[in-house]
C-alpha cells in the first residue's frame, strides 16, 4: 500500500493501481502506473510519468502524461479513475524492469 506522506524530495517511487471507475474520455484504461523519474540538479524533486494501460499484463499502453509531483499524480488519478491512496501498491523490481527495460 502507498503512504501519502512521502516527502517530495525523496527518491522516486513506482506505483501501480487498478482503475476503480472508467474515465469518461479514456474508457478503455484499466490500470495506471506512476513511474517516478529523477530530475538532474541538486535538490530537485522527482517527476512522475503517469502511464495508462488498456492491458497491464500485456503492457498495452493507452497513453502517458508527465506529472510534476507525486501528490498531483495521485490527485489526478483519483479524479479521473476513482483511485484512492490506499489502492496504490509499490511495484516490485520485476514489474519496474518490465516497464523500464
Would you list the domain boundaries of the chain?
Answer: 14-100
Q: Tell me the per-residue pLDDT of 9-55, one tens digit each, with 9 for 90 and over.
A: 578 999 999 999 999 999 999 999 999 999 987 778 899 999 999 99
pTM of structure: 0.87
Q: How many CB atoms lie within 10 A of CB 97?
A: 10
Query: Residue 10: what pLDDT?
Result: 76
Q: What is the three-state SS of the chain?
A: CCCCCCCCCCCCCEEEEECCCCECCECCCCEEEEEEECCCCCCCCCEEEEEEEEECCCCEEEEEEEECCHHHHHHHHHHHHCCCHHHCEECCHHHHHHHHC
Query: Residue 4: what pLDDT?
Result: 52
Amino acid at each position: 500500500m502507498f503512504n501519502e506522506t512521502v516527502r517530495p524530495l525523496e527518491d522516486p517511487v513506482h506505483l501501480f493501481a487498478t482503475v476503480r471507475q472508467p474515465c469518461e474520455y479514456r474508457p478503455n484504461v484499466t490500470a495506471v502506473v506512476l513511474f517516478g523519474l529523477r530530475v538532474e540538479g541538486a535538490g530537485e524533486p522527482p517527476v512522475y510519468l503517469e502511464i495508462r494501460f488498456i492491458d497491464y499484463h500485456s503492457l498495452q499502453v493507452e497513453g502517458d502524461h508527465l506529472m510534476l509531483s507525486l501528490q498531483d499524480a495521485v490527485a489526478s488519478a483519483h479524479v479521473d479513475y476513482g483511485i484512492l491512496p490506499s489502492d496504490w501498491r509499490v511495484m516490485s523490481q520485476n514489474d519496474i524492469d518490465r516497464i523500464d527495460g
